[in-house]
Chain A
Amino acid sequence: MGYAEAGFNLEIDLTRGSIERVPTDPGLSKLYLGGLGTNAKILWDRVPPEVEPFAPENLLIFGTGLLVGTPAPGCNRTIISTISPQTKLMAYSMMGGFWAPELKYAGYDKVVFRGKSPELVYVYIHNDKVEIRDASHLRGKGAVETQELIRKELKDPNVQVAAIGLAGENRVFTASIEQGRSSASRLGIGAVMGDKGLKAIAVRGTKDVNIAKPAEYMELCNDVLKYISDREEKPVPGVMPILAGLGSPQEMLHTDEKWHTENFSWGNSRTRRKEFWTKEIEEKWTETQENARTRLISCYNCPMKCGAIISLPGMSTYMMKCFSKLTYNMAAFVDDLDFGFRIAQRATEYGVDGFSTPQIMAFAFELREAGILTDKDFEGCPDDNEGKFYWLLDRIVRREGIGNILADGTHWAAQHIGNGAEAYAHNNIKKHEQLPLKLGMLNPIYFLMYCTGEKLNITQIEGQFPQAPFPTMEEREEFVKDWVHVPDEKFKQYLLDWEMRGENSNPYYPTVDMSVDIVDWQEKMHYIDDALGMCAGLSSFPLKPPYHIHNYPKFISAATGMEIDEDGLATIYKRNRNLIRAINVRRGLKREDEKPPEDHWRKRFPELEEQLLDAYYKFKGWNEQGVPTKESLHELGMDYISEDLEKRGILSYE
């Protein structure tokens, strides 16, 4: 009997229609934990860099985290990994919800898809019974609608369904995989699913997930629950409300959006509207949100209520979370929040990423204004801001006319359009659209995260350390008092000495070495979360979360029976970090790609920025190109990587 894990993967070849139940190698959990770590190992082993995202040999892996299905609160993430059609690098988008625990209870740690089905199909997993079923009747159906239809068809309300909408079917590069109130949205994994002819995966499981040391594990879980209750009573003072508590930013609960609407950029990430949040807007938006929101809801076994059921007259109900509430409004310059809730409903049914998609549309309208795209490209497009966006969204997900070009995201669309369009795709890192945020002074910590994060999505890289210094020493001292989370006491000093202005302020403070330390801690938390299946909202994202690097080894030991301490966990993190880096450098990632959008900060410091990258690479045991060295790979027991990189000429003997 295995502990925490199910001990089996499903291997499904969609070309041949074959299904295999394959026992997993327990040794791999000791090396990579699970979730993201073991997903990456499979991609490294089986998807060489020659494989194109839309080749049948590309894999689409639905992995559960190591602790998913156990009572650890908030541990419910599905980690979906493949090669991104947008970046051509490894994509690992994740979703909360209910799907991963159900898969674990069905007796599987992962489902690995390969090949392509000639007809549109869906897969139904019910414990040991696994079927590939016809989905031709679901073609073109919405992603939320599909989940409901499949539940009815299978006559089981407890089936959990992950589905794509029209965007995924049409291989739109921002296509998401939707599941209840959650979605795995980034980097076009929905397009890969559509390319494989896979409309949905329905799961139902009624088996046990076992715990090695039950009493010990339960005590840890009870401590976490208690901590969450106490922490919710004690929001961190001196930071904005959405960062004061736990969970993903509580934007379904809070109606105050002064910070986002005035600090983030509108349109194609261009315009800051510093006096947007008036009394009148506040009242109107509060009323709109309270009317739209039927209930605040959670993912599996999590007390945080980050999502909401959204019901507006004249449209079907859907679920929403976080910042997607604002992205369409801000990209389209629409001041009525009702538009945001309504277009997001259509976008959710289509199954598109709520971050990239609005930006692509704003980019297109900017190109039209600049005369690079012409009225002919927009024949039939209404003139009003709301109508324009609905019109273009419909074109993009259907890949009609100009929509066909835009469906590949701003980078590839700009390449295709040419004629100076590239300058308008200004907010990308490694070809992927970033948050619409434009700031003044370079922040060394964020610089490193933006440059080097493989996730390409800052909210899934940042956390733990306050985003800005506290103005007074009293506030700082108060903050560090119960900061048990730090990996080392020195981090407290970093914060105590961090000033708003003067010598000890950005960009030269935190110093290069401190910045590297801090980013390493932030990354470590995310990598562990993504291997365990823990939601960042209770761990790597917020300040002072219930999970941290000191209690994680205890959780892992008690759940799995595996002996592990903080050093052991740190080594696994390093292994996973290097593995994903290796996959990407093998696919052509270079130092020159590791940069924030040119205009992200107004004040840039080229020399300091080079120093930061150099120091970061060195700290990680990478060469000056950001490639893991033979020695550091050897230390981690990963000679198989250096051998491959050498063979390909990416690493050379000195």
Chain B
Amino acid sequence: MSKAMKKVKVIKIDVDKCNGCRACELICSAFHASPKYSSNNPERSRIRLIRDPIKDIYLPVYAGEYTPAECTGRNKYVIDGKEYNECDTCRASCPARDLFKEPDSGLPLKCDMCDGEEEPMCVKWCLAKALTYEEREEEREEEPQLGEMEIGLESLVNRHGLQKVMDTVARLSKKG
């Protein structure tokens, strides 16, 4: 398989510098509004601040991949003596929690690094510099291009499991 260079965008999160102001949430929601900046609502943000001042917990978390099912088990982190809630460090839009879902539709949200901007807006608006932006090049194996049929089948497999899809295809072919 051939190799290719890929740009990796990194937001570095320094939780010690976070002042808890949630400007990141606000500006993210504004940037992704349509038209751009026309509305504000942290609930639509693709970054959320897990915040518990009394426990000195300030943890910005970005929306990652959607997951159709929650994990089999859970993790609980204790860092520097501070116990985080289960799932606090997870980026997934997941049925187990309300985080990273459009408040109206429930559709999953995912951080797109504010594609097209010089740097993600949350970074720009974080004057405390808890969020900083880095880019680097990484060598990656090039993935084979999937055909249309394959994409469709793959999502069916994701949804119903491989066995069920194969059984169905087998049944359909008998009918034919």
Chain A positions near chain B (C-beta within 8 angstroms): 69-71, 73, 98, 105, 144, 148, 157, 180-181, 205-211, 214-215, 217-218, 225, 228-229, 294-303, 305, 309, 311, 316-317, 319
Nearest CB on B from A326, distance (A): 22
A-B contact pairs, 28 of them (CB 8 A): A71-B40, A105-B41, A105-B42, A157-B51, A157-B52, A180-B53, A205-B43, A210-B39, A211-B39, A214-B30, A214-B35, A225-B125, A228-B127, A295-B56, A296-B19, A298-B128, A300-B22, A300-B26, A301-B21, A301-B26, A303-B19, A303-B21, A303-B23, A305-B19, A309-B53, A311-B56, A317-B54, A317-B55
In the bound complex, how far is the Cα of B20 from the Cα of A511, in angstroms? Answer: 45
Of residues 19 through 57 on chain B, the ones whose CB sits less than 8 Å from some CB of chain A are 19-23, 26-27, 30, 33, 35-44, 50-56
In the bound complex, how far is the Cα of B43 from the Cα of A205, in angstroms? Answer: 8
Contact call A211/B40, Cβ cutoff below 8 A: yes
Contact call A215/B36, Cβ cutoff below 8 A: yes
Residues of B within 8 A of A218 (CB): 30, 37
Residues of A within 8 A of B26 (CB): 71, 300-301
Question: Which of B23, B27, B52, B53 gathers the greatest number of chain A CB atoms within 10 Å?
Answer: B53
Nearest CB on A from B127, distance (A): 4
Across the A-B interface, the 3 shortest Cβ-Cβ residue pairs: A214-B37, A303-B127, A206-B43
Contacts A298-B20, A311-B56; A305 near B128 (Cβ below 8 A): yes
Chain B residue at minimal CB-CB distance from A301: B23
Residues of B within 8 A of A144 (CB): 54
B58 at interface, CB cutoff 8 A: yes
Tally of B interface residues using CB under 8 Å: 31
Residues of A within 8 A of B27 (CB): 71
Contact call A209/B39, Cβ cutoff below 8 A: yes
Contact call B21/A302, Cβ cutoff below 8 A: yes
B161 at interface, CB cutoff 8 A: no
B152 at interface, CB cutoff 8 A: no
In the bound complex, how far is the Cα of B26 from the Cα of A298, in angstroms? Answer: 14
In the bound complex, how far is the Cα of B37 from the Cα of A297, in angstroms? Answer: 26
Chain A residue at minimal CB-CB distance from B52: A157
B103 at interface, CB cutoff 8 A: yes
Contact code string B108-138 (vs A, CB < 8 Å = 1, else 0): 0000000000000000010110000000000
In the bound complex, how far is the Cα of B17 from the Cα of A297, in angstroms? Answer: 10
- Name the one of B39, B50, B58, B127 contacting A208, with C-beta atoms under 8 angstroms: B39
Main secondary structure of the interface of B (DSSP, over half): mixed
Contact call A294/B56, Cβ cutoff below 8 A: yes
Contact call B30/A71, Cβ cutoff below 8 A: yes
Contact call A214/B38, Cβ cutoff below 8 A: yes
Main secondary structure of the interface of A (DSSP, over half): loop
- Name the one of A69, A105, A214, A297 contacting B20, with C-beta atoms under 8 angstroms: A297
Residues of B within 8 A of A69 (CB): 40
Chain B residue at minimal CB-CB distance from A318: B54
- Name the one of B22, B53, B58 contacting A319, with C-beta atoms under 8 angstroms: B53
Residues of A within 8 A of B44 (CB): 208
In the bound complex, how far is the Cα of B36 from the Cα of A214, in angstroms? Answer: 7
Residues of B within 8 A of A294 (CB): 56
Contact call B56/A300, Cβ cutoff below 8 A: no
Contact call B43/A297, Cβ cutoff below 8 A: no
Contacts A157-B51, A228-B127; A211 near B23 (Cβ below 8 A): no
Of residues 66 through 119 on chain B, the ones whose CB sits less than 8 Å from some CB of chain A are 103
Contact call B53/A207, Cβ cutoff below 8 A: no
Question: Which of A180, A210, A297 gathers the greatest number of chain B CB atoms within 10 Å?
Answer: A297
In the bound complex, how far is the Cα of B21 from the Cα of A210, in angstroms? Answer: 20
Residues of A within 8 A of B54 (CB): 144, 148, 309, 316-317
In the bound complex, how far is the Cα of B19 from the Cα of A71, in angstroms? Answer: 17
- Name the one of A206, A229, A301 contacting B22, with C-beta atoms under 8 angstroms: A301
Chain A residue at minimal CB-CB distance from B18: A295
Question: Which of A180, A208, A228, A311 gathers the greatest number of chain B CB atoms within 10 Å?
Answer: A208
Question: Which of A301, A309, A316 gathers the greatest number of chain B CB atoms within 10 Å?
Answer: A301
Knowing that A208-B33, A300-B22, A300-B26 are A-B contacts, what are 5 other residue pairs whose CB atoms are under 8 Å apart, sorted by A's residue number? A181-B53, A208-B39, A214-B36, A214-B38, A295-B20
Contact call B37/A299, Cβ cutoff below 8 A: no
Chain B residue at minimal CB-CB distance from A4: B40
Residues of B within 8 A of A205 (CB): 43
Residues of B within 8 A of A73 (CB): 23
In the bound complex, how far is the Cα of B127 from the Cα of A309, in angstroms? Answer: 19
In the bound complex, how far is the Cα of B27 from the Cα of A205, in angstroms? Answer: 17
In the bound complex, how far is the Cα of B44 from the Cα of A211, in angstroms? Answer: 16
In the bound complex, how far is the Cα of B27 from the Cα of A211, in angstroms? Answer: 13
Contact call B22/A211, Cβ cutoff below 8 A: no
Contact call B37/A215, Cβ cutoff below 8 A: yes
Chain B residue at minimal CB-CB distance from A147: B54
Residues of B within 8 A of A302 (CB): 21, 23
Nearest CB on A from B51, distance (A): 7
Contact code string B125-163 (vs A, CB < 8 Å = 1, else 0): 101100000000000000000000000000000000000
Residues of A within 8 A of B41 (CB): 105, 206-209
In the bound complex, how far is the Cα of B40 from the Cα of A92, in angstroms? Answer: 27
Chain A residue at minimal CB-CB distance from B99: A158
In the bound complex, how far is the Cα of B27 from the Cα of A499, in angstroms? Answer: 46
In the bound complex, how far is the Cα of B155 from the Cα of A170, in angstroms? Answer: 62
Residues of B within 8 A of A71 (CB): 23, 26-27, 30, 37, 40
Contacts A300-B21, A303-B21, A303-B128; A295 near B58 (Cβ below 8 A): yes
In the bound complex, how far is the Cα of B57 from the Cα of A295, in angstroms? Answer: 10
Chain B residue at minimal CB-CB distance from A210: B39
Nearest CB on A from B31, distance (A): 9
Nearest CB on B from A317, distance (A): 5
Residues of A within 8 A of B23 (CB): 71, 73, 301-303
In the bound complex, how far is the Cα of B56 from the Cα of A206, in angstroms? Answer: 25
Nearest CB on B from A632, distance (A): 38
- Name the one of A157, A180, A209, A296 contacting B40, with C-beta atoms under 8 angstroms: A209
Nearest CB on A from B52, distance (A): 7
Contact call B53/A211, Cβ cutoff below 8 A: no
- Name the one of B36, B43, B125 contacting A105, with C-beta atoms under 8 angstroms: B43
Residues of A within 8 A of B58 (CB): 295
In the bound complex, how far is the Cα of B103 from the Cα of A217, in angstroms? Answer: 24
Residues of B within 8 A of A228 (CB): 127
Residues of B within 8 A of A311 (CB): 56
In the bound complex, how far is the Cα of B33 from the Cα of A84, in angstroms? Answer: 42
Residues of A within 8 A of B52 (CB): 157
Contact call B36/A298, Cβ cutoff below 8 A: no
Residues of B within 8 A of A211 (CB): 30, 37-40
Nearest CB on B from A11, distance (A): 24
In the bound complex, how far is the Cα of B82 from the Cα of A311, in angstroms? Answer: 14
- Name the one of B21, B50, B56 contacting A309, with C-beta atoms under 8 angstroms: B56
Contact call A217/B37, Cβ cutoff below 8 A: yes
Contact call B127/A299, Cβ cutoff below 8 A: no
Residues of B within 8 A of A305 (CB): 19, 128
In the bound complex, how far is the Cα of B30 from the Cα of A105, in angstroms? Answer: 13
Residues of A within 8 A of B35 (CB): 214
Nearest CB on A from B49, distance (A): 9
Nearest CB on B from A220, distance (A): 11
